[in-house]
Amino acid sequence: MLDRPIRLLQQILSVGLCLFTLAEVNYPQLQPQSQLAIFAGLGLMLCFLRFPALARFAAAWPSRALDLALATATLVVTAFVVVQTEPAFESLWLGGASLGDRAGVEHPTDYLIGFLGLFLVLEGARRAVGPALPILSLAFIAYGLWGSGMPDWLFPHRGYGIERIVGQTFLHSQGVFGTALKVMFTYVFLFVVFGAFLELTGATRFVIEYAQKLLGKTAGGPAKVSILSSGLMGSLSGSAVANTATTGTFTIPLMRSSGFKPHIAAGIEAAASSGGALVPPVMGAGAYMMLEIVEPQVTYLQIIQAALLPAILYYLSLFLIAHFSAHKLNATAPQDPAQGADQDSVPKIGDDEPVGLLEGFIFAASLGSLILFLLVGFTVFRSVSFAMAVTLLCSVWHPRTRLSIRQVLQGLVKAAASGIALVAAAASVGIVLGIVTLTGVGSKLPATIIPLAEQNLLLALLLIMTSSIVLGMGLPSAVCYLLLATLIGPALGDLGVVPLAAHLFIFYFGLMSMVTPPVALAAYTAASIADSKIMQTAVASFRFAMVGFALPFLFVYRPQLLMLDVNGEPASWLAIGLAFGLTAFAMVPLASSVTGFFTERLSLVRRLVLAVITLLMIFPTVGTIWPGLPISPINLLGCAALAVVGWLFSRSRGAAPTS
């Protein structure tokens, strides 16, 4: 009875959310807190209407009535914030002062609205991203309330009353309507809309089909198609789960049809999709978040230069893993899934309409214009808005790509659906950040890490890595980076590490949480497509993404991989080339060790030998062979060992009897 009106309401709210964000980011008319209140309000209303309180009762009318009631409450709460903030409603301000000016002397109605608002944010996050983030937010609220009774190792403070906490986390601009939601509003959500328009024009389908034509007939071609397409598309979407669901629907059945086992196919797709946000120039909007957070400030060009070589190394390792896996599984012969297969099981890229150079031109024009606008000095939000306009303009020249008004509206609805989880998660993270600011734990935690780093930098990095992975298990990677950068950011500049390397370190491990058991969300998504066992798939994706766990340590100790020297200045091309060449060379024994294949199947002992050789080749530079060059005698020993082992393997293979 309520389903049809609710679906219509969802569509209206979705279009409204996208249009409001595009208009207000580019041509602001409201106060910053009002902007974020409307953004959060529309997102949370969609969240309550789209995600039921309990899936088993989703269709029952009491459940739908509850959803409508919570959506209405969200409207009331956020409208209150807008009315009490905007000068146009000054006659309605309680006590004659705006909400911001009432800080510390709030009206009882403010607290009532604040309580309700916190509940709605926590419930919305629970529905959209699961229980982990709301539990974390509640833990921080408890810390704010009862901090005076905490033991020394939990950073005690004097404790705050519930009214102060409500004011800090919801009513003012340091909590829900703070940095996390601002970044989502200003940067990330626009890229979600941008990606939706690229998909509508067929540009993203072109990426997969072009990769298929380019690599489909090579050894392990379908796996390489998955890796290339996931890397290109993941850079735009920034969501490992969405990337896996989009490209995996086609690439996983294709890999299975060519001989890959289900969990192997799913693991490769999950690992490739999780690394998409590492790829410049977009990095899933990660580059633009760093523009706001990294201190001292860096330019967009510095960020994408620093991210380029590690991204190449990550995907090089995946290509080698796919290549060796194909030979090991005898999946080298390309197979057309349309031949000798049930037509209903043939994987399809999307629409039945073919794609060609026109869609490729749209993709290149869209991405190229985005980079161009950024490089000539436009702001990030203005650049992505102009790039969307270029996408629409390029699409009108042919009926195949031309978008009707209905299709544009459908794209906006889809974009809003993809962004709901980000809005809810960012609002909930705002609660954590509000408590961090209130209690000062944001300075106490770095004060603990810095002495640790002075004694052992590796131990401090391991602590940061663990925090990033644990938090990332329940958060979108962008939100995880925001949270960790805020908590640990003040300490990063004092660790003796290049600041950009430290921030990329956090960013990498937030993404790697998507393939880290037991909560590997990208692997879970891939497993559902491949019909494989969840934990088996998660372990496979973890193995294939192994280099993603090594690279952050490598570029911290060897910043030449980021095109920087140890002082954060541009490194020499010789140092960059040596660091990159050595690490790229080390990807060969790493991939062989992970897959168990080099020139033939490898025993466990041989795999362990190759793993040790990899460690020798990438070991941090200690006692360089020449001042300023990032190569040590240990690295040369690893290279020599690889040459000897490769020669021995080839001899043993040549001496083996042939049948």
Residue 238: Cβ within 10 Å count: 25
The pLDDT of residue 514: 83
Q: Residue for token digits 């009926």?
A: 399
The pLDDT of residue 216: 65
If pLDDT is split at 50, 70 and 90, which confidence band does 499 have?
Answer: confident
Task: Convert the pLDDT of each residue in 280-291 to its tens digit.
Answer: 877 766 777 787
If pLDDT is split at 50, 70 and 90, which confidence band does 347 have?
Answer: very low
Which of 117-131, 135-149, 282-296, 324-338 is predicted least confidently? 324-338
Helix and strand totals (H; E) in the chain:
27, 0
The pLDDT of residue 491: 65
As a whole number of angstroms, the distance between CA 215 and CA 229 comes to: 11
The pLDDT of residue 298: 85
Residue with more model confidence, 301 or 35: 35
- Across the chain, mean pLDDT equals 83
As a whole number of angstroms, the distance between CA 41 and CA 24 comes to: 15
Task: Convert the pLDDT of each residue in 468-492 to its tens digit.
Answer: 777 666 566 677 787 778 777 666 6
Residue 1 above 70 pLDDT? no
The pLDDT of residue 566: 81
If pLDDT is split at 50, 70 and 90, which confidence band does 338 have?
Answer: very low
- The reported pTM is 0.76
The pLDDT of residue 345: 41
Q: Where are the alpha helices (DSSP H) in 281-379?
A: 286-293, 300-328, 357-375
If pLDDT is split at 50, 70 and 90, which confidence band does 93 have?
Answer: very high
Task: Convert the pLDDT of each residue in 358-378 to its tens digit.
Answer: 888 888 888 888 888 877 878
Residue 658 above 50 pLDDT? no
Which of 313-327, 418-432, 596-610, 639-653 is predicted least confidently? 639-653
Long-range Cβ pairs for the range 404-408 (8 Å, 24+): 407/200, 408/200
As a whole number of angstroms, the distance between CA 210 and CA 203 comes to: 10
If pLDDT is split at 50, 70 and 90, which confidence band does 14 have?
Answer: very high
The pLDDT of residue 311: 92
- Tell me how far the alpha carbon of residue 263 is from its chain's centroid: 23
